[in-house]
Amino acid sequence: MTKQTIITLPGDGIGPEVTTVAVDVLKAACRAFDVEIETIERPFGGTGYDTDGEPVTQETLELCKKHKFVLLGAVGGPKWDDLSADLRPEAALLKLRRELGVYANLRPIQVYPALAGASTLKEDVIAGTDILIMRELTGGIYFGEPRFTTEHKGEIWSVDTMKYSRSEIQRIARKAFEAARFRDKRVCSVDKANVLESSRLWRKSVEEVAEEFPDVELSHMLVDNCAMQLIRNPKQFDVMVTGNLFGDILSDEAAMLTGSIGMLPSASLGDGNGLYEPVHGSAPDIAGQGVANPLAAVASVALMCRYSLKMEEAAAMIESAIRSVLDDGYRTPDLFADEEGTFRSGTTEISVRLLELVKEKAVV
């Protein structure tokens, strides 16, 4: 058995519930391929603030950098909403992404056949959708300086800065083109080049990178149109590459194509580090009730196997267990639509079934 250490940051709300399931499934799947997963857990986000007086400590950041592979649950909640910007749970997440240098955020949008009826959109519109959103994660308006609030001429003003350098754009564009080579070889770059200066540089820089990839087709789309096209005809997209803020918004929208935001995993990569998190938030309204959908967190550890641990077979094993659980009819309340052959289930029930499935697959 080889040993592999990962850091877990369960965080707030439903974060701990879904992280537990994901870790159990990860351990079982890796064990099947003779890899022992060891976890080091640290408080993070609001829970970090309650424990240490700050949402993430320097020690935790160092630990994440040292071990390189991190699984995060979720951060945030009303309890911490009134804290100053630098103490808010979200600040910890942004700091972690930045410190790890994980500039490429991969959000795969796949419609599981068993869930095609669970979306608020028509089944024939979404069935067969398979999109990879490549969101730039460590730049843009999330991090641009200056940012401040001030009083001037009897008025209060706030400033955020949307800023991208050519090299920042080109490294994420390159990731998108590389990913497209393993897919349908199409990249759609999303910007607001009809208005924003930073978007005009974005478009030009992506076009330069496209010359390195003559086998991949590049198109451009304005972000407002893209928001519409995503629900009008999502099947038109293969790989979508976009900046931090646009990617944040479009990926929530795209999540609804899968039936529930509770289904969406993510991988953030860069500098040899990997940060894995479900896209859903901390859902404080349902925390502690045992009804959280753990599948996005579980799908996130599948991505960890694929991109960081380089265990493609374990990744495939986990993904096939997710499909089986859905085919068997298990549905957490976010997915439950009272369809024939489906039944309402809790987080633990799904976890137990996933572990059974992984063990069965490990034996054959």
> Which positions touch ligand IPM (CB under 6 A)?
76, 90, 93, 248, 279
C-alpha angle 147-151-156 in degrees, rounded to nearest 5: 80
Nearer to ligand IPM, 261 or 317 (CB): 261
Residue closest to 189 by CA, chosen among 171, 198, 177: 177
Is residue 173 packed enough to be buried (19+ CB in 10 Å), middle (13-18) or exposed (0-12)? buried
Is 160 in the active site?
no
Asked if residues 48 and 56 have their Cβ atoms less than 8 Å apart, the reply is yes
Nearest approach, Cβ of residue 252 and Mn ion (Å): 5
For the chain, how many helices (H) and strands (E)?
12, 14
Rounded Cα distance between 219 and 63, Å, is 40
Is residue 340 packed enough to be buried (19+ CB in 10 Å), middle (13-18) or exposed (0-12)? exposed
Rounded Cα distance between 78 and 257, Å, is 28
Nearest approach, Cβ of residue 11 and ligand IPM (Å): 10
90 binds, options ligand IPM, Mn ion, none, Cβ within 5 to 8 A by partner type: ligand IPM
Is 66 in the active site?
no
Is 52 in the active site?
no
Q: Candidates 31-39, 192-200, 215-223, 248-256: pick the segment binding Mn ion (CB under 5 A).
A: 248-256
Residues 67-126 that bind Mn ion (CB under 5 A): none
Q: Is 248 in the site for Mn ion (CB under 5 A)?
A: yes
Nearest approach, Cβ of residue 76 and ligand IPM (Å): 6
Is 86 in the active site?
no
Catalytic pick from 103, 192, 276, 334?
192
Catalytic pick from 50, 81, 86, 224?
224
93 binds, options ligand IPM, Mn ion, none, Cβ within 5 to 8 A by partner type: ligand IPM
136 binds, options ligand IPM, Mn ion, none, Cβ within 5 to 8 A by partner type: none
Nearer to ligand IPM, 12 or 24 (CB): 12
Asked if residues 270 and 105 have their Cβ atoms less than 8 Å apart, the reply is no
319 binds, options Mn ion, ligand IPM, none, Cβ within 5 to 8 A by partner type: none
Catalytic pick from 52, 160, 252, 328?
252
Catalytic pick from 103, 248, 276, 334?
248
Rounded Cα distance between 71 and 74, Å, is 10
Nearer to ligand IPM, 92 or 325 (CB): 92
What one-character-per-residue DSSP string does 22-39 give? Answer: HHHHHHHHHHTTTEEEEE
Residue closest to 63 by CA, chosen among 2, 6, 3: 6
Nearer to ligand IPM, 209 or 254 (CB): 254
* Two tokens, residue 360: 């069965």
Is 252 in the active site?
yes
Q: Is 136 in the site for Mn ion (CB under 5 A)?
A: no
The contact set with Mn ion (CB under 5 A) reads 248
Catalogue the active-site residues: 142, 192, 224, 248, 252
